[in-house]
C-alpha cells in the first residue's frame, strides 16, 4: 500500500518552522517560543503539541515510544503510536532504553534516559503564572524582567490552606537560574529527574502554540520556601506486581468492594522488573502462570 | 532640606485633548500633598505621569531614593521602574479590587511584595503579614480568607497593608476613600493619618473630597482643565481660597 502522507504527516515547511522554534527554545532554556501550531487530526488536549514536535524531530531511523501517564497501552499512547507507524513508517517500541524518541503525557520514564534520546512532553498550559495572572502581556513582561514573586504566592497559598505545599503535579521549576517553567502536569515526583538529564527534553503546547525546552545537563530547580523545602511525593507503598518501592505508583480500584492496589505507573518498568523475577505481594498470591499485566 | 520628590513641567495630552499641562510640584519627606479638582480636570493623568504608569509628553520626575540616590524616574528602564514601584513606592487604588488579588488569601496579598523582592521564608512572611494586618486594624484570624469575603472598608485597609509591607517612602493614592460610607471613611482616614505620622511617609493623594484634604494633607494643589489654578498650604487654601474656582469648590461643601 502506498503512503500518501508526507513523512511524519506534516509538510516540510511546517516541520522547518517547528525546528526553527525548537532551536530557539534550546538556545534559551525554559523560554516559551511561540510557533504557528497546525490543526492536527486529533482534538486539542490529546497531544497536538507533542505530536508536532515529534513529527519535526523524527527521522526514518528513529524508534519511538509513546506513553500516557506512564503506560504504553492506553488510548492516547496507542493512537499516537499508530499515527506515526502509519504516517512515518518508523519502528515503535515500548522499551524505554531502546527508544530514540519518547513522546510522553504527564510522566518521565523510571529508567534513566541517555544522551541519544529525546523526550517530548505534551503540554496543556505552558504558562506557569497563568492562573494567578490572566494577562498574557503581563506574564511575558514578568518573564522578561524575572519577576517571579507571584509563583511563590501560589506556594504560599498552598501552605496557608493545607499546611504544606499541596501542589503535586505541574510543580513550577526554575531552569538554569533564569526562566520559571511549567514542567507540564508530571507528578512532582518526576521533577528531580529533569535536572542534569542527559537527554534532550522538548515541550510542545498545541492549543497555546508554545514550544520550550530543557537542553541536556541543565540545572532544573523546583521552587520552594526555606522552611518548607521541596519534597518528592509518592504513595507510601510498594508496587503490588513487581515490588518496586522507588517508582511512582498508581492507585487502582480493582472491584466493587472498594479494594485497591498500588502498581507502577510506568508499565514498561514494571514488566521489565517482573521479567527479571521480581514479584509483588499480589503477584505472589496468585497461582503460577497468572499474567499480571492483564489486570 | 531637599524634596524627596520633584516634578517639573509635566505635560500630557491625548491627541487634541489636554490631560495636564506644565505642572510643577515638589514633596518633602513626611509630607502629604493633596491634588483636588473636579472630574476630568487631569488629576488622574497627573498621578499616572508622576508614578510613571504613563509617559508624559514633557517634563521630568526626580525621586531621591534612600537606597539609590537621585533618580530621574522617567529615564529609568521599565525593569527599574517596576522594581522601584514595588519597593520604595506604593500605589493605592480607588477600587481595592484593582490593587488586590481577589483569588488569593489576605495573607498572600500582603506577602506578595515580600516574595517579589526575594523573601523565601514562609514563617517570616506570615508573621509580617499578620503584623501588618493588625496595624491596619484587620482581624488576624482572617488571614487565610479571601478579600472577596471582606467588606469594602476592610478591602481598602488590606490594600494599604499590602502596599506598606515593604515600607515604601512614597505613596500614591487615587481617591482611597471613594466608594466607602462616611463612618468607614472616617476610620480609614484616622488610620492613614496615624500611619503617615508613625512611619513619616510621603503621600501624594488625589481626591475630590475636600474633607480628606483637610484631615490629611499638609499642602494642596487645585486643578482645573489640566492646569494648576491654586497651590499652597492646605488650611490656607481651604480657609482663604483666592481663585474663583477654588472658592466655588470650597463653598460647595455640604454643611450638615
- Please tell me which of the candidates A141, A149, A159 has its beta carbon nearest to residue B122: A159
**Distance in angstroms (rounded) separating the CA atoms of residues B5 and B199:** 17
Chain A residues in contact with B118 by the CB 8 A cut-off are 149
| Nearest in space to A57 (alpha carbons), one of A122, A6, A118 | A118
Chain A residues in contact with B103 by the CB 8 A cut-off are 132
Q: Report the run of H or E that residue B23 belongs to, with start and end.
A: strand B17-27
**pLDDT: which is higher, B45 or A289:** B45
User: Cβ of A153 and B111 within 8 Å?
Assistant: yes
The answer on pLDDT for A1 being more than 90 is: no
In the structure grid, which three cell numbers stand for residue B219, read together? Answer: 499642602
3-state SS of A34-85 is: ECCCCCCCCCCCCCHHHHHHHHHHCCCCCEEEEEECCECCCHHHHHHHHHHH
**Spatial CB neighbours of A22, under 8 Å, sequence gap ≥ 6:** A33, A53, A56, A57, A202, A211, A213
In the structure grid, which three cell numbers stand for residue B83, read together? Answer: 522594581
**Distance in angstroms (rounded) separating the CA atoms of residues A122 and A120:** 7
The answer on pLDDT for A277 being more than 80 is: yes
**Distance in angstroms (rounded) separating the CA atoms of residues A106 and A259:** 26
The answer on pLDDT for A230 being more than 90 is: yes
**Distance in angstroms (rounded) separating the CA atoms of residues A13 and A26:** 20
The answer on pLDDT for A84 being more than 60 is: yes
Concerning whether A270 is annotated as a catalytic residue, the answer is yes
The answer on pLDDT for A3 being more than 70 is: no
**Spatial CB neighbours of A289, under 8 Å, sequence gap ≥ 6:** none
Name the strands in the sheet holding A173-175, side by side, starting at the edge strand that comes first in the sequence. A179-181, A173-175, A220-222
| Nearest in space to A29 (alpha carbons), one of A224, A184, A216 | A216
pLDDT of residue A4: 83
Min Cα distance B103 → chain A (Å) is: 8
Interface check for B121 against chain A (CB to CB < 8 A): the answer is yes
For residue B76, count CB atoms less than 10 angstroms from its CB and return exposed for 0-12, middle for 13-18, buried for 19 or more. Answer: middle
In the structure grid, which three cell numbers stand for residue B61, read together? Answer: 520626575
Contact A143/A128 with Cβ under 8 angstroms? no
Active-site choice (A21, A30, A50, A70): A30
Active-site choice (A57, A270, A280, A289): A270
In the structure grid, which three cell numbers stand for residue B139, read together? Answer: 482581624
**Distance in angstroms (rounded) separating the CA atoms of residues B39 and B159:** 24
Q: 10-residue block means of pLDDT along chain B (256 residues)? A: 92 92 92 91 92 92 89 91 91 93 95 94 96 93 96 93 92 88 86 89 91 92 93 94 92 78
Q: Report the run of H or E that residue A261 belongs to, with start and end.
A: strand A260-264
Min Cα distance A226 → chain B (Å) is: 5
pLDDT of residue A28: 97
Q: Please name the residue that has the C-alpha cell 490543526.
A: A39
pLDDT of residue A93: 96
| Nearest in space to A267 (alpha carbons), one of A124, A88, A74 | A74
DSSP state of A110: S
User: Cβ of A161 and B112 within 8 Å?
Assistant: no
User: Cβ of B104 and A157 within 8 Å?
Assistant: yes
* Section A169-191 average pLDDT: 96
Using a CB–CB cut-off of 8 Å, the residues of A that contact B are 132, 141, 145, 147, 149-150, 152-153, 156-157, 159-161, 225-228
DSSP state of B41: S
pLDDT of residue A295: 47
- Please tell me which of the candidates B79, B108, B118 has its beta carbon nearest to residue A160: B108
Min Cα distance A137 → chain B (Å) is: 14
Active-site choice (A264, A277, A280, A289): A264
Contact B84/B90 with Cβ under 8 angstroms? no
| b/e code A68-90 from CB counts within 10 Å (16+ = b) | bbbbbeeebbeebbebbeebbeb
| Average pLDDT score over chain A | 93
* Section A167-190 average pLDDT: 96
Whether complex ipTM tops 0.90? no
pLDDT of residue B180: 83
Instruction: Give how far the C-alpha of residue A87 lies from the chain's centroid of Cα atoms, to the nearest Å.
Output: 23
Concerning whether A239 is annotated as a catalytic residue, the answer is yes
pLDDT of residue A149: 92
CA dihedral A171, A175, A177, A181 (to 10 degrees): -50
Span of A5-19, A229-243, B1-15, B171-185 with lowest mean pLDDT: B171-185
Concerning whether A218 is annotated as a catalytic residue, the answer is no
pLDDT of residue B160: 93
Kind of pairing, strands A118-122 and A101-105? parallel
* Section A46-54 average pLDDT: 95
**Distance in angstroms (rounded) separating the CA atoms of residues A157 and A202:** 30
Concerning whether A197 is annotated as a catalytic residue, the answer is no
Number of C-beta neighbours around residue B239 at 10 A: 10
Span of A118-127, A140-149, B37-46 with lowest mean pLDDT: B37-46
* Section A147-155 average pLDDT: 94
Concerning whether A30 is annotated as a catalytic residue, the answer is yes
Amino acid at each position: 500500500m502506498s503512503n500518501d502522507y508526507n513523512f511524519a504527516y506534516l509538510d516540510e515547511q511546517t516541520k522547518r518552522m517547528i525546528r526553527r522554534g525548537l532551536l530557539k527554545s534550546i538556545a534559551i532554556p525554559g523560554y516559551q517560543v511561540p510557533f504557528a501550531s497546525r490543526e492536527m487530526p486529533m482534538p486539542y488536549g490529546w497531544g497536538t503539541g507533542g505530536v508536532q514536535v515529534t513529527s519535526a524531530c523524527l527521522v526514518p531511523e528513529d524508534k519511538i515510544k509513546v506513553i500516557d501517564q506512564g503506560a504504553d497501552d492506553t488510548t492516547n499512547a496507542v493512537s499516537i503510536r499508530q499515527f506515526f507507524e502509519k504516517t512515518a513508517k518508523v519502528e515503535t517500541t515500548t522499551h524505554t532504553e531502546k527508544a530514540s524518541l519518547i513522546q510522553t503525557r504527564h510522566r518521565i520514564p523510571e529508567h534513566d534516559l541517555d544522551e541519544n534520546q529525546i523526550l517530548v512532553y505534551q503540554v496543556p498550559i505552558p504558562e506557569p503564572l497563568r492562573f494567578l495572572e490572566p494577562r498574557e502581556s503581563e506574564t511575558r513582561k514578568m518573564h522578561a524582567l524575572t519577576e517571579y514573586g507571584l509563583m511563590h504566592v501560589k506556594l504560599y497559598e498552598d501552605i496557608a490552606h493545607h499546611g504544606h505545599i499541596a501542589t503535586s503535579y505541574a510543580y513550577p521549576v526554575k531552569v538554569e537560574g533564569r526562566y520559571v517553567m511549567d514542567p507540564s502536569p508530571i507528578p512532582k515526583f518526576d521533577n528531580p529527574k529533569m535536572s542534569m538529564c542527559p537527554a534532550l527534553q522538548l515541550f510542545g503546547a498545541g492549543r497555546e502554540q508554545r514550544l520550550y525546552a530543557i537542553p541536556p545537563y541543565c540545572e532544573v530547580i523546583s521552587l520552594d520556601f526555606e522552611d518548607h523545602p521541596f519534597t518528592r511525593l509518592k504513595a507510601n507503598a510498594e508496587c503490588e506486581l513487581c515490588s518496586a518501592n522507588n517508582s511512582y505508583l498508581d492507585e487502582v480500584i480493582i472491584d466493587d468492594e472498594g479494594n485497591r492496589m498500588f502498581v507502577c505507573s510506568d508499565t514498561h518498568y514494571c514488566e521489565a522488573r517482573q521479567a527479571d523475577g521480581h514479584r509483588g505481594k499480589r503477584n505472589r498470591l496468585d497461582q503460577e502462570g497468572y499474567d499480571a499485566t492483564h489486570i | 532640606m531637599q524634596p524627596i520628590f520633584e516634578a517639573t513641567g509635566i505635560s500630557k495630552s491625548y491627541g487634541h485633548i489636554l490631560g495636564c499641562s506644565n505642572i510643577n510640584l515638589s514633596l518633602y519627606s513626611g509630607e502629604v500633598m493633596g491634588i483636588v479638582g473636579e472630574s476630568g480636570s487631569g488629576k488622574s493623568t497627573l498621578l499616572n505621569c508622576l508614578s510613571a504608569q504613563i509617559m508624559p509628553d514633557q517634563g521630568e520626575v526626580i525621586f531621591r531614593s534612600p537606597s539609590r540616590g537621585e533618580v530621574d524616574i522617567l529615564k529609568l528602564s521599565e525593569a527599574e521602574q517596576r522594581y522601584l514601584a514595588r519597593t520604595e513606592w506604593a500605589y493605592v487604588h480607588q477600587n481595592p479590587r484593582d490593587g488586590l488579588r481577589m483569588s488569593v488569601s489576605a495573607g498572600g496579598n500582603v506577602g506578595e511584595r515580600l516574595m517579589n523582592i526575594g523573601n523565601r521564608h514562609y514563617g517570616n512572611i506570615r508573621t509580617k503579614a499578620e503584623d501588618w494586618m493588625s496595624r491596619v486594624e484587620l482581624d488576624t484570624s482572617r488571614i487565610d480568607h479571601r478579600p472577596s469575603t471582606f467588606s469594602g472598608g476592610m478591602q481598602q485597609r488590606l490594600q494599604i497593608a499590602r502596599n506598606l509591607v515593604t515600607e515604601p517612602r512614597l505613596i500614591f493614592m487615587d481617591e482611597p476613600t471613594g466608594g466607602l460610607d462616611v463612618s468607614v471613611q472616617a476610620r480609614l482616614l484616622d488610620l492613614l493619618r496615624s500611619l503617615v505620622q508613625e512611619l513619616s511617609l510621603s503621600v501624594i493623594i488625589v481626591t475630590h473630597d475636600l474633607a480628606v484634604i483637610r484631615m490629611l494633607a499638609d499642602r494642596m494643589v487645585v486643578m482645573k482643565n489640566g492646569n494648576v489654578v491654586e497651590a499652597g498650604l492646605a488650611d490656607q487654601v481651604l480657609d482663604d481660597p483666592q481663585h474663583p474656582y477654588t472658592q466655588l469648590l470650597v463653598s460647595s461643601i455640604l454643611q450638615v
